Amino acid sequence: MIHNAQLIKQGAEAKVYLAPFCQRQAIIKERFAKAYRHPTLDKKLTSRRVVQEARCLNRCQKALIDTPTVYMVDLENSLIYMEYIEGISVREFLVTAEGETPEAQSRVAKEIGTALGKMHNIEVVHGDLTTSNLMMRKETGGSVVLIDFGLSYVSNLIEDKAVDLYVLERAFTSTHPNTEVMFAQILEAYGESSKAAKLILKKLEDVRMRGRKRSMLG
């Protein structure tokens, strides 16, 4: 039980709370036990995930990629205390009047592409890129922040990075109509910031092809 906490999301693997911490609001992410797993194994796997998430967040922050600052990790209770980002998600932004303009979409696309390129340069693969996991900071007038590193991991594989981009592309095409130009701008900015962009973007074409074949087969 976390003191004065307000539950903001109950997921399949974690609960996310907003709670006061050191005179400010913080996000507390709690991973919980899975009833079907053996308790000892479960504790081990849960700890591993908590450590992995906190490590990827720290790694990004060190590379000056805007992500929530990790305040504290409580491994015993599988909790990560992190900075609360005040703002809206890109998903929410895209349905506002401003978010529907090409100028705003282009600015946000550039920021997303640049951030993802930098993240892949330090071998962090996000694992769950959606427009809900891209936030915009109110404080700075809407600069992009990457959140939810719950499925992230360290990898130098071109394939893993291409799949990361493909997941985001699918999120765009399935949730936001008429954003093809915006996604192309994300890839353009990614092309400028990612060191292995050529190989990764080439691999993205293969991944798309596989995706198409799979959906044709049903």
Ligand X SMILES: Nc1ncnc2c1ncn2[C@@H]1O[C@H](COP(=O)(O)OP(=O)(O)OP(=O)(O)O)[C@@H](O)[C@H]1O
Which of 133, 194 has the CB closer to ligand X?
133
| Residue 128: active-site member | yes
Tokens of 85: 């980002």
Min. distance of Cβ 158 from ligand X in angstroms?
A: 24
Which of 135, 189 has the CB closer to ligand X?
135
Tokens of 198: 């050529």
The three-state secondary structure class of 181 is: helix
Min. distance of Cβ 11 from ligand X in angstroms?
A: 3
Amino acid at 6: Q
Give the dihedral sign, CA 169/173/179/184: positive
Which of 84, 153 has the CB closer to ligand X?
84
- The residue ranges that bind ligand X (CB under 6 A) are 8-9, 11, 13-14, 16, 27, 29, 68, 82-85, 128, 132-133, 147-148, 150-151
Catalytic residue from among 128, 148, 160, 206:
128
Partnered with residue 81 across adjacent β-strands are 28, 72
Min. distance of Cβ 218 from ligand X in angstroms?
A: 27
Write the Ramachandran bin of 61: left for phi over 0, alpha for psi from -120 to 50, otherwise beta.
Answer: alpha
Amino acid at 83: E
Min. distance of Cβ 9 from ligand X in angstroms?
A: 4
Which of 8, 51 has the CB closer to ligand X?
8
| CA–CA dist 115, 110 (Å, integer) | 9
Which of 66, 111 has the CB closer to ligand X?
66
β-pairing, 143-146 vs 79-83, is unpaired
Work out the burial of residue 96: count CB atoms within 10 Å of its CB; fewer than 13 is exposed, 13-18 middle, 19 or more buried: exposed
| CA–CA dist 9, 169 (Å, integer) | 24
Min. distance of Cβ 112 from ligand X in angstroms?
A: 16
Active site residues: 128
